[in-house]
Amino acid sequence: MYLYLNGDIVPAEQATISPFDHGYLYGLGVFETFRTYDGHPFLIRDHLERLRSGLKELNIATDLDEEKVIGTVRELLIKNGLKDAYCRFNVSGGQGEIGLRTDPYEKPTVILFQKGLPASAPLKEKEGVFLNLRRNTPETGERLKSHHYLNNIAAKREIGPSPDKEGIFLTGEGYLCEGITSNLFWIKDGTLYTPTVETGLLNGITRRFILALSDQLKLPAETGAFREDCLLEADEVFFTNSVQEIIPVNRIGNRDYPGRRGGYTRLLHHQYTKYTSRLHSIDEL
């Protein structure tokens, strides 16, 4: 497999970074994960906008020209013999002296990884599990998709390695927040609900897309601060992320849900798949 590293496409086993990279020493970096569908990087503009925002917060300067990034994604797809792929675009501060730095980072480390994914797959259900571990508060005003992942890793260790389970974070105050690697939605009496960004969740690109889809479909949607009971009383529940798309929930605790049979879940997934091979941005919806 090949990857992109600081301007070059190289075999993965030959890729190296400095041990003095501040992404390694201090976790100073952000990343985006997105999918390509038949070679098309879905919602790439939104992913790049969020990446730019995170880099600005971390004082890391880099060129993220959309056309250049798309060209690199497609060049790497050809090199790897892929059309449908998981992509991770990773930018860290780059090499520096040991010690906390206040000056801008002007020579970041930029990496693009890929791995193959099936072109299409049936909706895969998961069980939701309330976590004992609480969601940590963001390091800055809004949660970044950063290298600081210990809270997520500790949560995954709590529920175990099963791919059929997703943990559900509560905030320190006991409000619903998000999944370990996903955002959380539910349907009750024909209305779509999801926690507000003020809970400290990562404002996922797929989360934003689902809210935009609900508006297009005239499906009422509410964001806010909600307790566990709201989820346990829901008619349908699902998670979202950019790689797994929409993930129906079939069980939380002793409560069963319709999972992939849920009418609203199926409707949203059907609409979602209509756009994956052509949209660059949610604004194009």
Span 51-66, average pLDDT = 95
Report the domain count for the chain.
2
Query: Phi/psi of residue 38, each to 5°?
Result: 50, 40
Domain boundary among 73, 94, 116: 116
Span 207-212, average pLDDT = 98
Its domain, for residue 53, covers 2-116
Q: Encode pLDDT of 96-113 as tens digits.
A: 999 999 999 999 999 999
Specify whether 97 is located in the same domain as 7: yes
CA 10 to chain centre: 26
Of 209, 180, 240, 216, nearest in space to 44 by CA: 209
Specify whether 153 is located in the same domain as 252: yes
Specify whether 220 is located in the same domain as 274: yes
Q: Strand 165-170 to strand 126-130: parallel, antiparallel, or no bridges (unpaired)?
A: parallel
Specify burial of residue 160 (Cβ count, 10 A radius: 0-12, 13-18, 19+).
Answer: exposed
Q: What is this structure's pTM?
A: 0.96
Specify whether 200 is located in the same domain as 243: yes
CATH of the domain at 88: 3.30.470.10
Q: Encode pLDDT of 189-207 as tens digits.
A: 999 999 999 999 999 999 9
Does residue 29 lie within any of the structural domains?
A: yes
CA 112 to chain centre: 15
Specify whether 216 is located in the same domain as 83: no
pLDDT score of 138 more than 90? yes
- Alpha carbons 257 and 226: distance in angstroms, whole number: 19
Domain boundary among 90, 116, 142: 116
Q: Encode pLDDT of 152-171 as tens digits.
A: 999 999 999 999 999 999 99
Does residue 175 lie within any of the structural domains?
A: yes
Specify whether 27 is located in the same domain as 109: yes
Query: Over pLDDT 90: what percentage of the chain?
Result: 97
| Contact (Cβ atoms closer than 8 angstroms) between residue 200 and residue 137 | yes
Arithmetic mean of pLDDT over the chain: 97
Does residue 121 lie within any of the structural domains?
A: no
Specify whether 29 is located in the same domain as 158: no
Residue 71 — pLDDT band, cuts 50, 70, 90? very high
- Alpha carbons 233 and 93: distance in angstroms, whole number: 45
Specify whether 71 is located in the same domain as 171: no
Specify whether 6 is located in the same domain as 86: yes
125-140 burial: b if 16+ Cβ within 10 Å, else e: bbbbbebebebbeeee
Span 69-83, average pLDDT = 98
CATH of the domain at 278: 3.20.10.10
Specify whether 39 is located in the same domain as 178: no
- In what helix (H) or strand (E) does residue 207 lie, and over which residues does it extend? helix 205-216
Specify whether 108 is located in the same domain as 169: no
Domain boundary among 116, 145, 173: 116
Residue with tokens 């604004």: 283
Specify whether 131 is located in the same domain as 112: no
Does residue 158 lie within any of the structural domains?
A: yes
Does residue 24 lie within any of the structural domains?
A: yes
Q: What is the token pair recorded at 18?
A: 């400095």
Does residue 268 lie within any of the structural domains?
A: yes
